[in-house]
Amino acid sequence: MTLNRRRFLGATAATLAAPMVQAASHGRARVVVIGGGAGGATAARYIAKDSQGEIDVTLVEPTRMYYTCFFSNLYLGGFRELSSIGHSYGTLAADYGVNVVHDWAVGVDRDARSVSLAGGATLPYDRLILSPGIDFVDGSVPGWDISAQNAMPHAYKAGSQSELLRAQIEAMPEGGTFAMIAPPNPYRCPPGPYERVSMVAHLLKGINPTAKILIVDPKEKFSKQALFEEGWGAHYPGMVERIGPDFGGTNVSVDPMAMTIDIDGAVEQVDVCNVIPAMKAGRICEIAGVTDGNWAPVNPHTMQSRAEENIFVLGDASAQGDMPKSGFSANSQAKVAAMAVRGALTGSKVFPAKYSNTCWSLIDTDDGVKVGAAYEATDEKISSVSSFVSQTGEDAALRKATYEESLGWYAGITSDMFG
């Protein structure tokens, strides 16, 4: 989909410079948010809360129960119940007055400023926020497509896929093989696949200690690599093997019927195969015409689409610069966008954007690690200004404290999203 050139040029100037208040001709200003995840739920809550009724907020989300991808690996490892990572939208509706519509958005008419829903309804908007997360790139792992997700689950959207993957791991034969096809950059949650390997190893160590884990990876390096490799060596010696690009990690195909994977011509029989394909912005971004390639470029100061100033794109779907695609990032970006939207629609004060991110990962019981950074907006991109990462060789008390912090963060971010 190509960008409309006139709109593209028109939208580049930051609205920060001249916050023109748009008194809506039809009474209360209307904001529609598509996607009730880390970005969308946060944006809906902040706009509704801080505008104190001045803005009418509608959140479109097909599912009634949102299962966070964050901590879904801990569910695989047996550290959390699935129910503990499920959240409903009741408080957003009851306490914040957000209109929650459980449906799919299927069309965006930028000229008429309206969204059409699968159920047939049309929602007019003054500002539209897109936070649909990711979809998978067709054909990125030859032999796999979404119809194969029951034989070879991705579990990269949480809920029934997570349950399925855990059940398959529990049913593995003694000494069997769990394979993961890791994704190429950029993808949601850079440490996610490797935290998952740790959690699968933890589960197998208890129920099937001679089982093997095989990672087939198209990337040279991965997030927190030294920390993960140290942890796997210490907690799960001999269990985890990784095939990187030098040994054919880029040249892989699968056969979901036969449960085989072909790595550079060598065919392996496996018992469970977790395929995490290449990713792109959720489909609705392409439908709205705000993507350039796989992702939707945004203005770093506001999270406004570069293609259309009335549309904001948050979270995984956006191309913004240095921030990793994480729930923390999406939540951070949502607050900047919420402030910009309120500024434009009600004239409230707008401050310079601040962003940050921290991603915790659990390697084994009480062995938590983290990586994080602070960011600022430049005209070109969201740019990292400082960062930190856990160190190898840290003592057990610090790792335990780090894990406990992640529990605090989970409680914090989920109440920041859902009230």
CB of 21 to ligand FAD, least distance (A): 28
Beta carbon nearer to another protein, 19 or 372: 372
Question: Of these partners, ligand HEC, another protein, ligand FAD, none, which one is at the site of residue 374 (CB under 5 to 8 Å by kind)?
Answer: another protein
- Whether residue 201 contacts residue 242, with contact meaning beta carbons closer than 8 Å, is answered with no
Q: For ligand FAD, what does the binding mask look like between residues 31 and 70, x meaning CB under 6 A?
A: ---xxxxxxx-------------------xxxx--x--xx
Question: What is the secondary structure of 90-155 as a DSSP string?
Answer: HHHHHHH--EEE-S-EEEEETTTTEEEETTS-EEE-SEEEE---EEEPTTSSTT--GGGTTTS---
Cis peptide, bond prior to residue 124, ω within 30 of zero: no
Candidate ranges 249-257, 282-290, 300-308, 365-373; the one touching another protein (CB under 8 A): 365-373
3-state secondary structure of 133: coil
Q: Is 274 exposed, middle or buried (0-12, 13-18, 19+ CB in 10 A)?
A: buried
| Residue 316 sits in the site that holds ligand FAD (CB under 6 A) | yes
Beta carbon nearer to another protein, 210 or 387: 387
| Residue 358 sits in the site that holds ligand HEC (CB under 6 A) | yes
| Residue 409 sits in the site that holds ligand HEC (CB under 6 A) | yes
Candidate ranges 183-191, 217-225, 301-309, 326-334; the one touching another protein (CB under 8 A): 326-334
| Residue 332 sits in the site that holds another protein (CB under 8 A) | yes
Residue with CB nearest ligand HEC?
358
| Residue 163 sits in the site that holds another protein (CB under 8 A) | no
Site for another protein (CB under 8 A): how many residues? 37
CB of 406 to ligand HEC, least distance (A): 9
Candidate ranges 142-150, 206-214, 219-227, 385-393; the one touching another protein (CB under 8 A): 385-393
Q: For the chain, what's the residue count? A: 419
Beta carbon nearer to another protein, 108 or 413: 413
Q: For another protein, what does the binding mask look like between residues 76 and 105, x meaning CB under 8 A?
A: -----------xx-xx--------------
Paired strand residues for 311? 128
82 token code pair: 């699935």
Residue in the structure block whose two tokens are 């959240």: 87
**What are the φ and ψ backbone dihedral angles of 343, each rounded to 5 degrees?**
-60, -45
CA triple 350-353-357, angle to 5 deg: 145
Residue in the structure block whose two tokens are 């198209």: 218
Paired strand residues for 214? 179, 241
Which residues have C-beta within 8 Å of that of residue 34, sequence separation ≥ 6? 40, 60, 105, 115, 128, 129, 130, 131, 132, 284
What separation, in Å, do the N-terminal and C-terminal C-alpha atoms of the chain show?
37
Residues of span 81-110 touching ligand FAD by CB under 6 A:
104-105
- Whether residue 333 contacts residue 355, with contact meaning beta carbons closer than 8 Å, is answered with yes
What is d(CA 372, CA 361) in angstroms, rounded to the nearest whole number?
12
CB of 238 to another protein, least distance (A): 32
Query: In the chain, what is the greatest distance between 2 CA atoms, to the nearest angstrom?
Result: 68
Tell me which of 9, 13, 21, 411 binds another protein, using CB under 8 A.
411
Beta carbon nearer to another protein, 90 or 209: 90
Question: Of these partners, ligand HEC, ligand FAD, another protein, none, which one is at the site of residue 40 (CB under 5 to 8 Å by kind)?
Answer: ligand FAD
Question: Of these partners, another protein, ligand HEC, ligand FAD, none, which one is at the site of residue 34 (CB under 5 to 8 Å by kind)?
Answer: ligand FAD
| Residue 291 sits in the site that holds ligand FAD (CB under 6 A) | no
| Residue 284 sits in the site that holds ligand FAD (CB under 6 A) | yes
Residues of span 31-50 touching another protein by CB under 8 A:
46, 50
Residue in the structure block whose two tokens are 């200003």: 29
| Residue 407 sits in the site that holds another protein (CB under 8 A) | yes
Alpha helices, DSSP H, located in 97-243: 160-170, 192-207, 225-235
- Whether residue 162 contacts residue 73, with contact meaning beta carbons closer than 8 Å, is answered with no
| Residue 255 sits in the site that holds ligand HEC (CB under 6 A) | no
216 token code pair: 């087939």
| Residue 122 sits in the site that holds another protein (CB under 8 A) | no
* Packed helices 327-346 and 38-51: angle between N→C axes, nearest 10 degrees: 30
CB of 106 to ligand HEC, least distance (A): 36
| Residue 372 sits in the site that holds another protein (CB under 8 A) | yes
In Å, how far from its chain's centre is CA 31?
Answer: 22
What is d(CA 382, CA 396) in angstroms, rounded to the nearest whole number?
35
- Whether residue 273 contacts residue 216, with contact meaning beta carbons closer than 8 Å, is answered with no
List residues binding ligand HEC (CB under 6 A): 358, 405, 409
List residues binding ligand FAD (CB under 6 A): 34-40, 60-63, 66, 69-70, 72-73, 104-105, 131-133, 156, 188-189, 192, 196, 282, 284, 314-317, 325-328, 330, 359-360
